[in-house]
Amino acid sequence: MKKYILFLSIFSSIVACAQTKKSTTTKENEKPKLVVGIVIDQMRYDYIYRFWNKFGNDGFKKLVNQGFFCKNTNFNYVPTYTGPGHASIYTGTTPSVHGIIANDWYDKKTAKNLYCAEDNKVTGVGTTAKEGKRSPANMLTTTITDELRISSNMKSKVIGIALKDRSAILPAGHTANAAYWFDGSIGSFISSTFYMNELPAYVQEFNKKELAKKYLSQSWNTLLPITEYTESVADDNKYEFVAKGETKPVFPHNLPNLYEKNGGLGMIRSTPFGNTLTKDFAMEIIKSENLGKENATDFLAISFSSPDYIGHLYGPNSVEQEDNYLRLDKDLAELIKFIETQVGQGNSLIFLTADHAAPEVPAYLMDLKIPAGYVNENKLEKDVKKYLAANYGDSLLLSYSNQQLFLNRQLIETKKLVLQQIQEDVANFVQKAENVSEVLTATTLNNTQFTEGARYLMQKGYHANRSGDVLVNYAPGYVDFPHYGTTHGSPYSYDTHVPLIFYGWNIKQGSTTEDINITDIAATLAMILNIQFPNGCTGKPIQSVVK
Ligand SMILES: [Zn+2]
């Protein structure tokens, strides 16, 4: 009897060993069929919990409950804007390396403003508007989506979509099959000759449905009875934008009466129906492109732009933003269900994050007696010009944009002045201005290595060839913006702290409060997919996410 047990136990351990080996080998070669990246434009980490009790079970809650929630994920540079945000998520590095230093910036080479996704070498497809002249050419490194394409010998399909062009184009990378964004003047999704010469038939068919017009033909009312929006301030308050054709910023927003007066079909952007339209198009792409149905892993990069427009107009504490998130939750639920039905349960890997967060409306904080307020950048710029003219006989300032001062280096050289000295003088002058905190010169950033705090984040957002001569940071709570709605861009946690959730293929269930940088996402995806890191990647894989 003993012998028999011994034999059995040896036998079973051999079987177990063989099984382990077999499953390890299979697993090593396995990949998800489809990766879906979801970026929410302007989503704060705390929204997950603020709206938790009102979310359904199949949207945000499903991702959190069944996936892995990285609760302490932050952007690790400034400025926390949309263009740099999307580029950093997908390149796994910061503006100091990928070069997308802002949404648009003063271009030292051409002495003109350059938009981050602008490319005059290409033309629009499906549009004649200048918004068609777009590509990722200004982004200097590869994305995780590029690396997926290269690793699969171009067999993986990669497509990016969003209402905002930069949010579709930068995530999809340089080698994407397609990127589509929204042209509000015609109410259609468009692309550029960087990707194709003609819109695919299914995209043309989708555009013909005129969904933007259809969604704008109904009023935007609250999803729940308005008395239930207890997480938000009163609907009628002085911290919100009032649309043309309205007398108060209150529900219901009569969209059929409003949209002609407020930017035409483009107005869908600042309603939750912008998310619904994006979701509709994402589902159409998954279906028509047969994403996740071939051997190679496909990648769909989606960005929901509407929360950002709504945040800018109404602020984080508005009934409008709460309602937007409750509706987005429903759109997400539908999208997740659709993905899993199309490619099979467990075959897709979804991650959800945001390109930046946002502060409370400063005017609201001021009324709460919390230090906050408004910086007048126009005045600051004028003061710097006056100071330079008085001391050097010339204004010497070409631009003050994205909190960076660009000096006229050519004129400084002609006048045989010392650039470093002028940078220092300007920095000392700006430092004395009200509500300015850190001020750093380009020379300091080139010679010093900062390791923490706002100076570190400013350095990670500083690109030696593209950035200005003096970089300025304001005090916490201070922005240059109208006194309604909110904006973002600072190194403070209200702008940097965003949700990050992984869900699906090979992802553990759980959460972590460990310190995670936004640049870790691409590195984590590279490890999961067993492919090269993007070529400028500075992030590290999040160990705890994977099974
Ligand atoms: Zn954004």
Pair (251, 353) in one structural domain = yes
Pair (394, 424) in one structural domain = yes
Pair (258, 394) in one structural domain = no
Residue 117 CA to ligand 1 center (angstroms) comes to 14
What is the distance of C-alpha 128 from the center of its chain? Answer: 27
337 part of a folded domain: yes
Pair (50, 164) in one structural domain = yes
Pair (270, 175) in one structural domain = yes
* Local mean pLDDT, 10-residue blocks, the chain (547 residues): 44 43 53 97 98 98 98 98 98 98 97 97 97 98 98 98 98 98 98 98 98 98 97 96 95 96 96 98 98 96 98 97 98 98 94 97 96 96 97 94 97 96 98 97 97 97 98 96 93 98 96 98 97 98 90
Pair (247, 362) in one structural domain = yes
Residue 120 CA to ligand 1 center (angstroms) comes to 23
Predicted pLDDT of residue 23: 43
CB-proximal residues (5 Å) to ion ligand 1: 41, 82, 308, 355
16 part of a folded domain: no
Strands 34-40 and 298-304: parallel
- Domain containing residue 45: CATH number: 3.40.720.10
pTM of the complete model: 0.94
Question: How many structural domains is the chain composed of?
Answer: 2
Predicted pLDDT of residue 395: 87
42 part of a folded domain: yes
462 part of a folded domain: yes
Pair (417, 492) in one structural domain = no
Pair (226, 350) in one structural domain = yes
Residue 84 CA to ligand 1 center (angstroms) comes to 9
Active-site residue 141, yes or no?
Answer: no
Pair (273, 393) in one structural domain = no
Q: Which of 20, 24, 26, 82 is catalytic?
A: 82
Pair (81, 141) in one structural domain = yes
Pair (319, 447) in one structural domain = no
536 part of a folded domain: yes
385 part of a folded domain: yes
DSSP 23-87: HHHHHHH---SEEEEEEETT--TTHHHHSGGGS-TTTHHHHHHHSEEEEEEE--SS---HHHHHH
Domain span at residue 413 reads 376-433+436-474
Predicted pLDDT of residue 313: 97
Domain end position, chosen among 424, 449, 474: 474
- Domain containing residue 456: CATH number: 3.30.1360.150
Residue 81 CA to ligand 1 center (angstroms) comes to 5
Residue 79 CA to ligand 1 center (angstroms) comes to 11
Residue 41 CA to ligand 1 center (angstroms) comes to 4
Predicted pLDDT of residue 546: 82
Q: Which amino acid is at 187?
A: G
Encoded tokens for 211: 């969904």
Residue 171 CA to ligand 1 center (angstroms) comes to 13
290 part of a folded domain: yes
Residue 13 CA to ligand 1 center (angstroms) comes to 54
Query: For residues 531 and 158, is the Cβ–Cβ distance under 8 A?
Result: no
2 part of a folded domain: no
Q: How many CB atoms lie within 10 A of CB 22?
A: 10
Encoded tokens for 188: 């259609």
